[in-house]
Structure 1
Amino acid sequence: MTTDSARRSALVALLLLTLVWGYNWIVMKQVLRDCGPFHFAAIRAVLATLVLVIAMALRGVPLKPPPLLGTAALGLFQTTAFQGLVQWALVEGAAGKTALLVYTMPFWLILPAWWLLHERPRRAQLAWTALAGAGLVLVLQPWRGLGGLGSALLALAAGLAWSISVVISKRMSAGGEVSALSLTTWQMGFGAIGLVLIALLVPERAIAWTPGFIAGLAYNAVLASGLAWVLWAMVVQRLPATVAGITSLAVPLTGFVFAWVLLGERPLPIEAGGIALVAAALVGITRPARQPEE
C-alpha cells in the first residue's frame, strides 16, 4: 500500500471512529443509570473480546498472540486504565466536558512521540496543536470551574493512559508484522482481565437489565469497543502518532454536536468559537505536508 493510499484509508477509518465514538459518549452516560461504572466497563470489555475473537476466526487470522509483554502493557493502559477511568469520570462529570478532558490525549502525546518514536513535530503541526489547545480552553472555560475537580482529574488521567497506549501500540506495530485485529483482540483480553478484577473488588449497585442498558452494552461491545479499536490500531499504524492524536479531537466535537441535537445541550457562543478553532486545527493538521520544490 502506498503512503498516500495508507493515509487516505486511515482518514476514512478516523471518520468512522468519529461517528461511533462521538455518539458513544451519550450512550455511556445513559447506561450509568442502570449499572455501576466498573461493572459496565468489565462487561463491555469481555463481550468485545469475544466479538473480536469471532472476527479473527471468520477472517482466518491466527490466534497466536503478539509479543505478550507489550500486549499486556497495552491492555493495561488502553483498556483497563483508560476504560475504567472514563466510566468513573462519567459518574459525576457531564458527557461533553468529560469527553474533551479525556481528549487532551494528543497534548500528552507530543513529547513521548518525539522522544520514544522519533516523530519530531513540524512547526506547522505545533502551530495547529496550539490552535486546538486554545479551542479546548474556550470550550472548557476553566475560569468558570470544571464541574467537579475529581471527575476532571479522572478524565485527564484517562487521556494520559491513552497517550501511553498509543506509544506502546506504535512501537509494537513498527515492523508491520502485527495485524491490527490480532493486537486489538489480545490487548482487549488482557485489559478485560484487569477490569473484571476491579469490578469484583469494588462494590457497586445491582445491574438493572433494562432494554436501554442492553442496547447500550451491545453498541459498546460490537462497535465502540470491538470495531472501533481495530480501526484505531490501523490509524496508529498508518499515521504519525502526533497526527493520529490531534485528529482524534474530532470525536469529542462530534459528541458535542450529538448532545446538542439529541439532548438539547446548546453550546454557548464562546464554546461554539472554541469548536470552530479545533475544527480548523483538524483540517490543517490532516493536510499532507508540502513537498519542497526541486
Structure 2
Amino acid sequence: MTTVSSSRRPALVALALLTLVWSYNWIVMKQALRYSGPFEFSALRYVFGSVVLFAVLLLRGESLRPPPLWPTTLIGLAQTTGFQLFVQSALLAGGAGRTALLAYTMPFWVVLIGWLALGDRPTRRLWLGLAVAAAGLALVLDPWHGLGSAGSSALALAGGACWAIGVVGSKRLFQRGGTSALSLTAWQMLIGTLAVVVIALVVPERPIEWSNWFIGALVYNALLASGLAWLLWSYVVERLPANVAGLSSLVIPIAGVGFAWLVLGERPTLTEGTGIVLIAAALALVNLRRGG
C-alpha cells in the first residue's frame, strides 16, 4: 500500500497544482476583460496556448501528425471555440464564481449527451445527481427575484454544454485508438483557435488597453492555464483512476467561487450558497460513480 501511495503522490501534487491554476484563472479572465473584449482576449490566449502545446509535443518527442481531421475539428470547435467564447461572454456581465460553477456543469451534459450519442444510459445514481443539480441550479439562478443575470447564466451553461460535446467526441476518438491526449489537445486547440481568430477579426470590439496586468493575464493563460495545465491534466489522467481525476470537476468551480469571494468580493447570497452546495453534492455523485 505504501508503494502505491508513493507512486500516486506526484500525480496528486499535479492534480492540486492543476486545480489551483484552473480555479484562479476564472479571476484572471474576469479581470482581463477590463482591458480587452472577450473575443480578442480569447484569440490571443489560445494563439499563445497552441504554441506552448506544440512546443511541449516537440520537447516530449511526440509525433506532430494530426489526429483524424473531422472528429478533431468538431472537438476543437466545441471545446475551444464554443466553450471559450461562451464563458468569456458570460464573464462580461456575470460574476467569476457563478460563471465557473455553471460552466462546470459539464459532467451533467456529458451524461445526457453520452446517453443520446453513445447509448450510455444513466444509472439511478446519475439520475439522482442530475435531479440534485437541477435543484441547485434553480437556487443559483434565483428566477423568482428577476432574470437580470439570466443571459450570463445561459452563456455559461452553453459553454459547459460545448465542453461536454468536446469530451464525448474525445472519448469516441480515444476508443478508436492511436491518438494521445496531448496530441489531440494541441490539434483541437489549434483548429478551435483559428475559428476564434476569425470571429475576433470580424466582430468589432473596443481596442485592447495594453498594460502590464493584461500582458500578465495573457502569460498566465498561455503558459499556465492553456499550456502547463493541459500537460498536468494528461499526466493526471494517465496516473490516477478516472474517479479521482474527475474530482477536479468538483474542486475547481468551488475553489473558483472561493477565489471570487476573496479577491473580487463576490459573496454568494444564502440562496446562491445553498444552490452551490447542492451542485457540489451533485458533482460528487456524478464524478464518484465508479468509486464505490
Q: TM-score, normalised by structure 2?
A: 0.85
Corresponding position of 2:261:
260
For residues 74-89 of structure 1, the aligned pairs below 5 Å read: 74-89=75-90
Does structure 2 conserve the Cα–Cα contact (< 8 Å) formed by 1:26 and 1:255? Answer: yes
Q: 2:188 aligned with 1:160, yes or no?
A: no
Quote the residue 1:171 is aligned against.
172
SS at match of 1:248: helix
Secondary structure of the residue aligned to 1:174 is helix
**Map of 2:4 onto structure 1:** none
Give yes or no for the alignment of 1:99 onto 2:83.
Answer: no
After superposition, residues 188-203 of structure 1 pair within 5 angstroms as 188-203=189-204
| Cα displacement (A) at 1:201 | 0.8
Contact 1:180 1:234 (C-alpha < 8 Å) held by counterparts: no
Aligned to 2:70, the other structure's residue is in SS state helix
Match of 2:23 in 1: 22
What SS does the aligned partner of 2:175 have? coil
1:40 is displaced (CA, Å) by 0.4
Tell me if the contact between 1:129 and 1:246 (Cα under 8 Å) persists in the aligned partners. no
Q: Is the 8 A contact 1:170 1:241 kept in 2?
A: no
SS at match of 1:147: coil
Partners of 2:94 and 2:149 within 8 A in 1: yes
The letter of the residue matching 2:155 is L
Cα deviation, residue 9, structure 1: 9.3
What's the offset of the Cα at 1:41?
Answer: 0.3
Deviation of the 1:184 alpha carbon = 0.5
Given residue 136 of structure 1, which amino acid in structure 2 is its aligned partner?
Answer: L
Using a 3 Å threshold, how does the CA distance of structure 1 residues 111 and 22 change in structure 2: closer, same or farther? same
Deviation at 1:78, TM superposition (A): 0.9
Report the Cα offset of residue 238 of structure 1. Answer: 9.4
Q: Distance in 2 between matches of 1:240 and 1:127?
A: 23
Q: Which amino acid aligns with 2:85?
A: G
Aligned residues: 288
| Cα distance between partner residues in 2 of 1:222 and 1:271 | 33
> Structure 1 pair 228/277, CA: closer, same or farther in 2 (3 Å)?
same
State the shift of 1:239 in Å: 9.8
State the distance in 2 between where 1:279 and 1:102 align.
Answer: 13
Identity %: 57
Aligned position for 1:62: 63
Report the residue type matching 1:181 in the other structure.
L
Matched residue, 1:110: 111
- Which amino acid is 1:78 matched to? Q
Change (3 A) 1:184 1:9: farther
In the alignment, which residue of structure 2 is the partner of 1:139? Answer: 140
Distance 1:287 1:107 in 2: 13
Shift of 1:68: 1.1
Change (3 A) 1:43 1:114: same
Which residue identity is paired with 2:195? G
- Distance in structure 1 (CA, Å) of the matches to 2:118 and 2:248: 18
Q: 1:55-74: CA deviations, max 9, x gaps?
A: 01111011111111111111
CA deviation vs aligned residue, 1:252-286 (integer Å, no higher than 9, x gap): 22111111222232222333333333333344444
Corresponding residue SS for 2:220: helix
Equivalent residue number for residue 36 of structure 2: 35
Report the Cα distance in structure 2 between the residues aligned to 1:66 and 1:35, rounded to whole angstroms.
33
